[in-house]
Amino acid sequence: MIFLQSQAPAAGMVNMLFFLSIFAIMYFFFIRPSVKKQKAQDTFTTDLAKGEEVVTTSGIIGRINKIEDDIVHLQLDQKTFIRVLRGAISKDMTEQLNKKSE
């Protein structure tokens, strides 16, 4: 019985280390990359400028004509303009478009 009591705290420490290691793995493989990707998207949307060709998350391709706070005016054709929210412009899809056009 003394033997079982002396192992109980060690078993608790092993369980705690197991759960901490699982959390660390989840952090480095799931949470950290998504936070990093979101920061890159935020930086991209704040650095938008007039004249850039961008792609929205729904796949619409246009050239930025005007930026007003959180609303971006995209020119799709000579006389066709739409307004989209700044957050609707996709960094990943815009980069794919730019790679194809080069």
Q: What is the CATH number of domain 50-102?
A: 2.30.30
Instruction: Say what the pLDDT of residue 9 is.
Output: 64
Nearest alpha carbon to residue 89 among 43, 36, 31, 33: 43
Q: Report the distance separating Cα 81 and Cα 64, nearest Å.
A: 10
Mean pLDDT over all residues of the chain? 90
pLDDT of residue 12: 82
pLDDT at position 66 over 70: yes
pTM of the model as a whole: 0.74
User: Does the structure show a pLDDT above 80 at 69?
Assistant: yes
Domain boundaries, the chain: 1-47, 50-102
Mean pLDDT throughout 35-64? 95
Handedness of CA 58, 64, 66, 67 (dihedral sign): positive
Following DSSP, what letter does each residue of the chain receive, concatenated?
Answer: -HHHHHHHHHHHHHHHHHHHHHHHHHIIIIIHHHHHHHHHHHHHHHT--TT-EEEBTT--EEEEEEEETTEEEEEEETTEEEEEEGGGB-HHHHHHHHHHH-
Q: Rounded to an integer, what is the distance from CA 42 to the centroid of its chain?
A: 8
